[in-house]
């Protein structure tokens, strides 16, 4: 279930970007990606991954970008999410 949710999340993110940053598709893709991550590694490990002391800057940018996308500012939100994603997974 988790791999499918992550796959659909990435599909909706790509499709939302291809359709000139459609905010509904991007928000749906983000939510599917995060829920799939929870299904794959579990809630506790997901929480501890995102809220480690050295990764708080990346986490704040990632979730801040998610909130900005949900507020219908998709380009700025995706830029914030991309920076947060890069700093989380470096």
Split the chain (90 residues) into runs of 10 and give each run's mean pLDDT: 96 94 93 96 94 95 95 94 93
Task: Please list, residue by residue across 59-82, b when 16 or more beta carbons sit within 10 angstroms of its beta carbon and e when fewer do.
Answer: bebbbbbbebbbeebbeebbebbe
State whether 65 and 46 are in the same domain: no
Phi, psi dihedral angles at 4 (to 5 degrees): -65, -45
Q: How many domains does the chain have?
A: 2
State whether 85 and 42 are in the same domain: no
**Separation CA 73–CA 35 (nearest Å):** 22
Which structural domain, as residue segments, surrounds residue 76?
52-89
pLDDT of residue 90: 85
pLDDT of residue 89: 87
**Separation CA 90–CA 5 (nearest Å):** 23
pTM recorded for the entire structure: 0.88
């Amino acid at each position: 279930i988790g791999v499918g949710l992550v796959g659909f999340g990435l599909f909706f993110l790509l499709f939302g970007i291809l359709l000139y940053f459609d905010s509904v598709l991007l928000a749906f893709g983000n939510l599917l990606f995060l829920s799939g991550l929870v299904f794959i590694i579990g809630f506790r490990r997901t929480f501890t991954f995102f809220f480690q002391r050295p990764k708080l800057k990346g986490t704040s940018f990632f979730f801040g970008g998610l909130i900005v996308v949900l507020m219908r500012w998709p380009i700025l939100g995706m830029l914030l999410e991309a920076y947060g994603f890069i700093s989380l997974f470096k």
